[in-house]
Amino acid sequence: MDEREPIRSLEALAAAIPDGASLAIPADYCGVAMAATRALISRGAKDLRLVCVPTSGLQADLLIGAGAVASIETSAVALGEFGQAPRFGAAVARGQIAIKDSTCPAIHAGLQAAEKGLPFMPLRGILGSDLLAHRRDWKVIDNPFAESDPIVVLPAIAPDVALFHAPLADREGNVWIGRRRELMTLAHAARRTLVTVESISATSLFADESLAAGVIPALYIEAAIEARRGAWPLGLWDAYEADEAFLADYAAKAKTEAGFAEALGRWLAGAPLAAE
C-alpha cells in the first residue's frame, strides 16, 4: 500500500525526489521543470543520477554546479546558441561526475524498452561507433533470425523519477503534452512521474476531442502541481519564449565558480522575469 502524502506544493514535490535517485529530465525544447529544479536545489538535493532525454542544458548545468549530481547519462549538455554548459564542462574536467556517454536514439530505445517491460532494446545505428568501447552495458549480439548480422542491444532505462513541465493538467491528474510524445514514453518508463503545469483545468482533458490524443492519463502521473511560468528562464511551446537575456548572462557568469554562485543566488531568490 502506498502511504505517501499527497504532493500539493513545489517544496513537497522536491522532497519527493530522494537523494541518489535516477532522475529523467527532458531537453530544453520539451518542457523543463525549472521551478521544481529551483526547489530541488534549495532543499539541498545530492547524488542525483541524471538521465537526459536525450540532451539537457541549463537545468543539468545548474544541478551540477549546485553539487546535486553524481552521474549523468546524455548525448549532449549545452546552452544552445549561448555556448557550452560551463559547470558541466568544469565538472567533467575535474572528474567530479560520472559520465554515461550516449546517443539520442540509444536513450529513446532504452526508455522504450522500459515502457514495454522489456530488459533491452535492439538498435543497429551504433555499430561501428567508438561508444561501444566505453559502454560495457551495450552488447553486440548475433541477430537470431539471420546469419552474419550483428546488432547492438541496450539495457532498459527505467528512471526512478521523471520530472517535466507541461502547459495543462486537469483535476483528475491527466496532463496534456500536445505533440511532445517523448514525454509520454518518459512517463510510461519511469517508476514515478512528477509534473508542473501552467494551469489546471476544471474539466477533464479527455472530454475535449482536440486535446485527448495528447494527454498522459493520470494513471502514470503521481502529481501535477501548478507553477505559472514554471519553465522560466527556458521557454514552453506555444506559451512563452526563453529569456535570452538571462541565458546570455548565465553563460557569461557561470564560467567561473564565483560567477556561477552569483547567478545561482539570483535565480534561487526569484530574479524578475525579463518579460514582466
CA-closest candidate to residue 264, choices 20, 63, 51, 4: 63
Residues 6+ apart with CB under 8 A from 95: none
- Cell 555556448 locates to 83
For residues 253 and 189, give the distance between their C-alpha atoms in angstroms, rounded to a whole number.
36
Is the Cβ–Cβ distance between 7 and 225 less than 8 Å?
yes
Burial of residue 89 (number of CB atoms within 10 Å: 0-12, 13-18, 19+): middle
What's the mean pLDDT in 176-196? 97
Give the chain's mean pLDDT.
Answer: 95
Residue 151 has pLDDT above 60, yes or no: yes
Query: How many of the other CB atoms lie within 10 Å of CB of 186?
Result: 29
Q: Provide the pLDDT confidence category of residue 5 given band limits of 50, 70 and 90.
A: confident
pLDDT of residue 32: 98
pLDDT at position 275 is 37
Rounded (10°) angle between helices 34-42 and 58-65 = 0
CA distances from 266 to 38, 246, 259, 272, 273 (A): 11, 11, 11, 9, 11
Q: How many CB atoms lie within 10 A of CB 150?
A: 11
pLDDT reading at 276 higher than 90: no
pLDDT exceeds cutoff 60 at 27: yes
Percentage with pLDDT > 90 across the chain = 92
- Res. 240 pLDDT band, cuts 50 70 90: very high
pTM reported for the whole predicted model = 0.95
Length of the chain as a residue count: 276
Q: Which domains does the chain have, with CATH numbers?
A: 10-102+159-265 (3.40.1080.10), 120-155 (no CATH)
pLDDT by residue (tens digit) across 53-107?
999 999 999 999 999 999 999 999 999 999 999 999 999 999 999 999 999 999 9
- Does residue 272 have a pLDDT over 50? no
Q: What is the pLDDT of residues 187-233, one digit of tens each?
A: 999 999 999 999 999 999 999 999 999 999 999 999 999 999 999 99
